[in-house]
Amino acid sequence: IPLYTHPQYGPPEAAAESSREQVAEGYKALKTDPFWEEMGKYHTARMNGYISPKGVRRGAEIIAAIREAVGPDIEILIDAHGHYDVASAIRCAKALEPFDLTWFEEPVQPESLEALRQVRESVGIPLCVGERLYTRFGFFPVLSQGLTDYIMPDIVWTGGITETRKIANLAEVFHIPVTPHDANGPLNIIAGAHTMMSVPNFYRLEMISGWMDNYNACIEPKLDIRDGYLHLPEKPGLGFELNKDFL
C-alpha cells in the first residue's frame, strides 16, 4: 500500500530539511500545513476564517523551500484543516499555485457546499475533502456536484470497513481517487490499508511517520514500512494483535 506522510511543521529551513529526510526514507508524497504558524491556534475552534497577508506569504515561503528541497517529482499535499472563509481559502490556494501541488485539502468547513463551490471555481489546485463527511450519503452531493478531485473518508469516523468500501465504490463511478484519512492510530491505518487493497481508485494512505514508535507500541507485529509502502501480514483478520499491557 503506497503511503504519504508528514514532514515537521516549522519555518522554511526546518520544513525543507524534514522533507528531505522523509524523501530519503522512500516517501514520494508529503503533506503539510504551511499556514499553521498563524492559524494552528484556531485549529478546533475556528474563529472568523481570516489569515493575514503576512501569514499567506509565510506559507508560500515554506512550500517554496520544500519544493526546492525535494525536487519536481515528489508530490506535495496541503492540509488547510478547514480553517478559512472563502476569500482567505482562495488567497492561500492562489499563493501556492506556482508549486505544482497535488491537492489543497479542506479549504473551508464541511457544512457548506456553496462555500466549497466558490473555492472550487476560483483556484487552480485540485481539492480534497471528506475526513468530516460521514457515510456514502454525505459524500454523494460532493461527488455528484463535482466539488472535489479526491476524497478522504476516515474509516473510523465514517462507520468502518464496510461503509468505507461503499464510499470508494461510489467515488469510482465519478472517477475520483480515494485516500483514507488514517492518521489517528495503528488500527485506523491497518483497517484502511486492508480496505484499500481491493479499491481500484485508491491513491495513497495517510501515515504520520513521526508517530511510528507510538503506533508500534500498540500492536504486534510492528508496521512493516519499506520505501514508502506499508506491507500487510498474511495473518487472519487485520493481521495484528493489540498490546493490551501497553494500552
Confidence of residue 44 (pLDDT cuts 50, 70, 90): confident
For residue 201, give the DSSP letter.
T
pLDDT at residue 138 is higher than 80? yes
pLDDT at residue 183 is higher than 80? no
Residue 30 confidence (pLDDT):
98
Catalytic, out of 6, 181, 194, 231 = 181
Catalytic residue check, 43: no
For residue 192, give the DSSP letter.
H
On whether the pTM is more than 0.85, the answer is yes
Residue 182 confidence (pLDDT):
83
Residue 37 confidence (pLDDT):
95
Residue 47 confidence (pLDDT):
79
Region of residue 161 (phi > 0: left; psi between -120 and 50: alpha; otherwise: beta): alpha
Catalytic, out of 81, 175, 194, 231 = 81
Closest CA to 232 of 198, 203, 209, 201: 198
pLDDT at residue 113 is higher than 90? yes
Catalytic residue check, 181: yes
Residue 23 confidence (pLDDT):
98
Rounded to the nearest integer, the mean pLDDT of the chain is 96
pLDDT at residue 191 is higher than 90? yes
For residue 217, give the DSSP letter.
H
pLDDT at residue 188 is higher than 90? yes
The angle formed by the CA atoms of residues 165, 157 and 51, to the nearest 5 degrees, is: 115
Which of helix, strand or coil describes residue 103?
Answer: strand
49-103 confidence digits (pLDDT tens)? 999 999 999 999 999 999 999 999 999 999 999 999 999 999 999 999 999 999 9
For 144, counting Cβ atoms within 10 Å of its Cβ (0-12 exposed, 13-18 middle, 19+ buried), the class is exposed
Cα 64 to Cα 147: distance, rounded to the nearest angstrom: 27
51-65 confidence digits (pLDDT tens)? 999 999 999 999 999
The full DSSP string for 54-77 is: HHHHHHHHHHHHHHHHH-TTSEEE
What is the arithmetic mean of pLDDT over 157-179? 97
